[in-house]
Structure 1
């Protein structure tokens, strides 16, 4: 493990993470609603164009600095686990839309399709170029998990949304390049984490919907760094 690589990766993560709060805040809206054109807390209109999206630091106090710290830790963990391999920059770039998805799902129980698509493209295209012989197993993993999650989502009283189905299929596809054990670790971790959260809410009698996206993405990170 190169300490310089870990430090550089953490700097990248901290820098990228600083831009995430405003983007996440603007996209944390109900399904079918357009992105926020003004701050949800103070009502100040955002500038048009890129200036309205690219801004460092908390979004008017919303979000705090935790995305910066979180992304730095994630980037450092990826660098420490993977080392100087071609897959490292792929995972670092894919972590940007990944963390955004987690933030949005925590805020409004929604996983925007376009952002899931960006996540798949950023991670999937480079991985396919690096390991073309693994494309078929990766597609098989994505289709199998997507079909299984869709069946669960269609059951009465299900706990999955269609966004969870799409994200689960996307993560299985990306991890399919590493093999089925990585897919199993991701999904197993995700369901274990959400099970613990559900049990805690039951004990504390705080009935509320539980976002599944953050648990899926946490499972993806664990699989990517351990398998």
Structure 2
């Protein structure tokens, strides 16, 4: 990928980061924050969201490179940034946002497969969504599980681009979120920031884990 293309993607990420707070606020205010969830303090530094979004976009551009599905990864990441903010604010993954990410992934990957003549990769993407959904349904049905079906639906959506990349990326994308979330929970418990039964959002960990899986692929 050329330096000019990388700079353009970085600028696009910065723009997305500027829009994310206002979009996420519209969804977050539709739900009251559960009293048991202490939640993060509002981010007042306006440069944080653009910096995060730029890092996410540049990381994907470097990792995915000239793959015809790169625009799909960026589009899903843009919606994911909004989802992460909403989940942190009110422990919700709104269905319209998850559906939008799923439609972008399905439509975009289908177009990429047709244009590049790689129908097999589309089958891999669909298989990734099925595997991710099935694994998280099983986790959600375990006794005492706090995994919500919003998390299951998001995992299925993220399984599409991960499955497009292949088995290794999919496996990493299934494992890393739970390692990250588990480590965070243990750290917060050790610091006495939360209690044992405090509900914590899994959506951000699913998204960060999927991003890391792409970078490590």
**Consecutive unaligned residues in structure 2, runs of 5 or more:** 33-41, 114-118
1:95-134 maps to which residues of 2 (within 5 A)? 95-131=77-113, 132-134=119-121
1:94 aligns with 2:81: no
Task: Find the aligned partners of 1:137 and 1:21 in 2 and give their Cα distance.
Answer: 34
**How much does 1:61 deviate?**
7.5
- For 1:15, the equivalent position in structure 2 comes to 15
TM-score normalised by L of structure 1: 0.80
Task: Find the aligned partners of 2:84 and 2:100 in 1 and give their Cα distance.
Answer: 14
**How much does 1:226 deviate?**
2.6
Q: Compared with structure 1, are the counterparts of its residues 20 and 98 closer, same or farther at alpha carbon in structure 2 (3 Å cutoff)?
A: same
* Superposed CA RMSD: 2.1
Q: Compared with structure 1, are the counterparts of its residues 83 and 155 closer, same or farther at alpha carbon in structure 2 (3 Å cutoff)?
A: closer
Kept in 1: contact 2:132–2:174 (CA 8 A)? no
In structure 1, the residue corresponding to 2:165 is in which secondary structure?
Answer: coil
In structure 2, the residue corresponding to 1:19 is in which secondary structure?
Answer: helix
Q: Compared with structure 1, are the counterparts of its residues 61 and 222 closer, same or farther at alpha carbon in structure 2 (3 Å cutoff)?
A: closer
**How much does 1:30 deviate?**
5.8
TM-score normalised by L of structure 2: 0.83
Structure 1 residues 101-138: Cα deviation after superposition (integer angstroms, max 9, x where no partner): 11111111111111111111112212122232233332
Greater relative contact order (Cα 8 A, min sep 6): structure 1 or 2? 2
**Consecutive unaligned residues in structure 1, runs of 5 or more:** 34-59
How many pairs are equivalent?
200
Residue of 154, 159, 165 corresponding to 2:141: 154
**How much does 1:184 deviate?**
0.8
- For 1:215, the equivalent position in structure 2 comes to 205
